[in-house]
Structure 1
Amino acid sequence: MPFKKDKIAQKFGIGYLTGFLAFAIIFAIAVFGGGFTTKIVWSSKNIVLFVLMLIGFLIQGTTEEIVCRGYVQGRITEKLGIFWAIALSTLFFASGHLGNAGVSLEGFVGLLAFGILTALLRFYTGDLWLCGALHGAWNFAEGPFFGTPVSGISGTELLFKSTSVPHHPWLNGGAFGIEASLTCIIVLILLSFLTVYLGQKYSDNKLDLN
């Protein structure tokens, strides 16, 4: 598995901050657009569970990255090249969520967009620290922190509880959660373009864009 030993804390911190802030921005747009009603549900009794979920989602997110962006993307890159590696590993990742509650076409597209972003990050950085941290932070912000469904899985809210407002699925994603929202898909696409721009400029790995 491509876990490089240099600048671990820096890459982990950048990944975590990026994942959390990206979700927070998308969530803020949804709330101010009327897509969610939100209330505070925090209790001091939640602190242990809060820490456990913080750690747990990091483990869960990193594990998915190891499987999808580490093993699957790595092996396909060896056999077919980076284009097919990104495409097929992303499809594999999104398909793994088809059994989740509330899954929809929009939710599947949102998962594809998330998968493309992390696949690009794995390609340009050459390792999984940033991807794993971003994925874990995204899921933690999505569920325990802001209280929305985590890819269709509800009931993880600990700080805020957010309820989807009907008739605003383009903002809140409906039952599947914010990944099925148009806002989320657009932001993830923009982040992917930014990743390509920065990667082509600063990374040792280059995509053939000709």
Structure 2
Amino acid sequence: MPFKKENFLKKVSVGYLTGFLSFALIFVISVLGGGFKIQSIWTSNNLPILLLFCIGFLIQGTTEEIICRGYIQGRISQKMRIYWGIIISTIFFILAHIGNNGISLAGVGGLLIFSVLTSLLRFYTGDLWLCSTLHAAWNFAEGPIFGTAVSGNSGMGLVFKSTSIPNHPLLTGNQFGIEASLISILIQIMLIIVIIYLGQKHSRLSIFKKAA
């Protein structure tokens, strides 16, 4: 599994901050648009549970990235062109979540965009630090911090409790969670554009080439 030692602290920090702040931005836009009613539920007694969730999501996010972006994308990219590795790992990622509560066409779209985003991070950086920590931070912010559903799994809020306002699916993603919202998909598309621009600018690699 490609976890390179070089600059790993920087990659972990950048990945975690990008994941957390990206979701925070999406959430704020949704709240300002009238998608959620929020309530502070934080008490000091929640701190140990919050830390456990932080560790748990680091393990969960890293495990999913090792399977999808590490093994599947890596192995297929060695034998075929890199974009096939991205496509097949994305299909597997979606199928792994297809039984989650509230899954919908919009939810599948959100999973697809998120998978492409993390696949490109894995491709351009050559390891799993950025995509794993971004994934972990996104889920941690989504559930325990802001109290929204994480891929259909709700009831994790420890800092805020967020109640979605009916008839605002473009802002809330309905039962599946914000990742199925139009706001989330648009923000992630913007991130993908930035990743491709920076990746192509600072690397000679191309997603249309076969991996070495």
Structure-1-length-normalised TM-score: 0.97
**In the TM superposition, what are the counterparts of 1:62-81 in structure 2 within 5 Å?**
62-81=62-81
CA–CA separation in structure 1 for the residues paired with 2:207 and 2:116: 14
Partner amino acid, structure 2, of 1:195: I
- Tell me the CA shift for residue 90 of structure 1: 0.9
RMSD: 1.0
**In the TM superposition, what are the counterparts of 1:161-200 in structure 2 within 5 Å?**
161-200=161-200
CA–CA separation in structure 2 for the residues paired with 1:80 and 1:164: 43
Residue-pair matches, total: 209
CA–CA separation in structure 1 for the residues paired with 2:13 and 2:28: 22
Is the CA contact 1:41–1:158 (under 8 Å) kept in the aligned structure 2? Answer: yes
- Tell me the CA shift for residue 204 of structure 1: 4.7
**Alignment partner, residue 106 of structure 2:** 106
Q: Secondary structure at the match of 1:152?
A: coil
**Alignment partner, residue 45 of structure 2:** 45
Is the CA contact 1:124–1:204 (under 8 Å) kept in the aligned structure 2? Answer: no
String of CA shifts for 1:99-135, please: whole Å, max 9, x gaps.
1001100001000000000000000000001111000
Q: Secondary structure at the match of 1:96?
A: helix
String of CA shifts for 1:17-40, please: whole Å, max 9, x gaps.
000010000001000000000000
**Alignment partner, residue 133 of structure 1:** 133
Structure-2-length-normalised TM-score: 0.96
CA–CA separation in structure 2 for the residues paired with 1:124 and 1:178: 27
Q: Which runs of 4+ in 1 moved over 2 A?
A: 203-209
Unaligned runs of 5+ in 2: none
**Alignment partner, residue 61 of structure 2:** 61
Unaligned runs of 5+ in 1: none
String of CA shifts for 1:76-102, please: whole Å, max 9, x gaps.
101221011111111111111011001
